[in-house]
Amino acid sequence: MKIATILDQIDLGSMALPEFQRGYVWNRDQVRSLVQSLYRRYPIGSLLVWVTRVESAAARGDGPLPPGVVKLLLDGQQRMTSLYGIIRGRPPRFFDGNAQTFTGLYFHLEDETFEFYMPTKMKGNPLWVNITELMQTGVGKFIGRLFALPELMPRMDTYIQRLTAIEGIKNIDLHVEEVTGEDKTVDVVVDIFNRVNSGGTKLSKGDLALAKICAEWSGARQEMKGLLAGWERAGFYFNLEWLLRNVTTILTGEALFSALKDVTATDFRAGLVKAQNACNYLLNMISGRLGLDHDRVLGGRYAFPVMARYLVLRGGKLHSAQERDRLLYWYVHSFLWGRFAGSTETVLNQDLGVLEPVDGALDRLIEQLRLSRGSLDIRPEDFAGWSLGARFYPMLYLLTRVSGSLDWGSGVPLSANLLGRLNTLQVHHIFPKALLYDYGYQKPEVNAIANYCFLTQAANLAISDKKPEVYLREIEARYPGALASQWIPQDPDLWKLENYKGFLAERRRLLAAAANRFVEELLNGTASTQLAVDYSTDLAAAAVTVPALEEEVQALLEWVKLHGLPKPELDFEVCSPTGEVLTVVDLAWPAGVQEGYSQPVALILQEDQDQINQLNQAGYRFFSHVETLQAYLERLVAGAAAGQGG
């Protein structure tokens, strides 16, 4: 079938993209390489389409499909989307990606090279031809331009041949393989898709489950993306799989996506509303009672499907402060001990299995956690982790928000309700990083959890890099009790650089004691426990500032976003298959930068040999400098993934 005919069928809606397909992911070098191959008449492979009845097809796009049958692209999306964009000058209606990838491709009539438009190089030069303009207006217009320049006449025949070869790309025949038959269900077709895209991104179990829902409700994916965008505005970053897991557990009481096989689109839509309401209620409860009010301190996100299911079984709200606190007791311990870090589905099913009957469910949840852990006591050595990715980092933040900790610049409590929008908390190194590095301490010691506290921005800036033995004395004199409220050892000798390790040991002891007191209050109650449990199912936009990233890391994240790459996990715990924390990295793509195309990737600034060994063991490709990581990403964007399912 000629390329022009295929594009016509896309315009008519008789060829479309199945809803379970992911969006457009090619980069400019891949687009350029495709057109170059077609210009040279190199083979670019065949297309694979699924021929199915319109009424059983879930296709992307904003227009209705014509009656009868439709051909859904299984293999060839990237190629045909690129060609459609170049030839039509706009993306197809099923497009989901960055249109700049195929906008502004030019051809040099003399050198026969393809490049994207650069004004300084191409403006006013008749030898640079806009491919899209040529495809839409034809060769004649360009020949007329060339004849107006006598100096080009000696090469005119060659130029005309080359212009004609480019326009002739529309008439190249591509073989179209068709998958047909009543037995070709969405399950079978997704399996075929995964097989033909063996070198590219495979569909996950979640994609397959969502494909079944989308077969009845084509707007499901977009609806879910809207919910995720709402949570992002509130300062929480979740993914589609996490949301789908919540919906699955709410509707079926099971963690496996296969449980959705008998769920109708109507039921799924209702489950999505319940999931949104339950998760918003839980986020408001966790923010209000525990002070965990933004993404970087929200531990245990895979405890949410269990809590959401419990909440729905209770009619959408909790009925007493005691019930709330016991649920939060389980939640806090679930993220402290990495309850869902290993075999997530297996552990989720274990916990979901004890929720019914709902009476007594919290006792059973807590007992199950206690049996798997052995002891839920928090010890000083549990605070021995380091970096913002450590599991006990949220606990330190939690204690600061609920224990009456005082700011060192103003002496006011740091609880959430007393902070204004522009006066939010920042991470402060009690012993400044620069002083510790100069003294010879290594990264895990410098960034130890026990060296962190939280202050307002003004207090943080005022302290800067002062020696702790100096500024801690000043704070204690100005605001008596402020140091003790942040679990600072009271022995001034421990505030000296040479006694830093002793300081860490003593502060860990103080933190562990405070943590045990608080979780014990959650479990058994306290006279000061808040009574209100009527948390809103609406979520306000973010009113807190997340901890500042190093400037070069922030620049990298902006570059990643600009180039359409997936957002990495920040301060990521690299775990063993059993959930044991191996190490913490500054950022990571644990499933590869383009999932399924490459090995896991991590950035570890100021790495040590132990980290290197652990990352090698976990199969990571890692970088110790932002520049080298970005160079790797640039190579990836420039075509290292050119073989992905297109």
pLDDT digits (tens, 9 = 90+) for 25-51: 788 888 999 999 999 999 998 888 888
Task: Specify if 532 maps to a domain.
Answer: no
- Tell me: do 317 and 335 sit in the same domain: yes
Q: What is the DSSP letter of 59?
A: B
Name the more confident of 303 and 297: 303
The number of helices, as runs of H, and strands, as runs of E, in the chain is 26, 13
- The pLDDT of residue 114 is 95
Mean pLDDT lowest among 76-85, 260-269, 554-563: 554-563
Residue 535 lies in a domain: no
Q: Are residues 133 and 210 in the same domain?
A: no
In sequence order, the 6+-apart residues with CB closer than 8 A to the CB of 211 are 18, 19, 20, 58, 186, 190, 203
In three-state secondary structure terms, 603 is strand
> In the structure, what pLDDT confidence band is assigned to residue 388 with cuts at 50, 70 and 90?
low
Long-range contacts of 440-444 (CB under 8 A, 24+ apart): 441/500, 442/606, 442/608, 443/386, 443/605, 443/606, 443/607, 443/608, 444/386, 444/608
Do 172 and 46 share a domain, yes or no? yes
- With a pLDDT cut of 90, the percent of the chain lying above it is 42
Of 252-261, 447-456, 602-611, which has the strongest mean pLDDT?
447-456
Q: Is the dihedral of CA 621, 624, 626, 630 positive or negative?
A: negative
Say whether both 18 and 125 belong to one domain: yes
Select, from the ranges 341-345, 389-393, 420-424, the one with the highest average predicted confidence (pLDDT). 389-393
Query: Do 22 and 167 have their domain in common?
Result: yes
What three-state secondary structure class fits 146? helix
Q: Are residues 346 and 391 in the same domain?
A: no
Q: How many domains does the chain have?
A: 4
Is 391 in the same domain as 490? yes
Determine which of 29-33, 223-227, 307-311, 550-554 has the lowest per-residue pLDDT on average.
Answer: 550-554
Could you tell me if 390 and 415 lie in one domain? yes
482, 401 contact by CB (below 8 A): no
With respect to residue 428, please indicate whether it lies within any of the assigned structural domains: yes
Q: Does pLDDT of 393 surpass 60?
A: yes
Q: In this structure, is residue 455 part of a structural domain?
A: yes
Q: Does a structural domain hold residue 132?
A: yes
10 and 153 co-located in one domain = yes
User: Which among 145, 179, 213 is the end of a domain?
Assistant: 179
Confidence of residue 61 (pLDDT cuts 50, 70, 90): very low
Task: Give yes or no: residues 480 and 609 share one domain.
Answer: no
Is 119 exposed, middle or buried, given 0-12, 13-18 or 19+ CB atoms closer than 10 A?
exposed
Q: Which of 425-439, 585-599, 617-631 has the lowest mean pLDDT?
A: 585-599
Query: Region 550-576: what's the mean pLDDT?
Result: 78
Q: Is residue 200 part of a domain?
A: no
The CB density around residue 465, as the number of other CB atoms within 10 Å, is 10
Taking alpha carbons only, the member of 274, 253, 255, 275 closest to residue 209 is 255
247 lies in the same domain as 112 = no
Give the span between the Cα atoms of 211 and 191, in whole angstroms. 12
Average pLDDT value for the chain: 84
Domain limits for position 566: 551-640
Tell me how far apart the alpha carbons of residues 531 and 551 are, in angstroms, rounded to a whole number. Answer: 43
- Worst-scoring range by mean pLDDT, 163-177, 189-203, 373-387, 526-540? 189-203
> Rg for the chain (alpha carbons), in Å?
29
pLDDT value at 636 more than 90: no
pTM as predicted:
0.70
Q: Give the per-residue pLDDT at 599.
A: 79
Do residue 354 and residue 417 come from a single domain? no
Beta carbons within 8 Å of 62's beta carbon, 6+ residues apart? 93
Lowest mean pLDDT among 197-206, 249-258, 342-351, 408-417: 197-206
Is there a domain that residue 530 lies in?
no
The answer to whether 186 touches 260, Cβ cutoff 8 Å, is: no
Which of 483, 505, 524 marks a domain boundary? Answer: 524
Question: Does residue 137 surpass a pLDDT of 80?
Answer: yes
Contact between 294 and 235 under an 8 Å Cβ cutoff? The reply is: yes
Asked whether residue 546 is assigned to any structural domain, the reply reads no
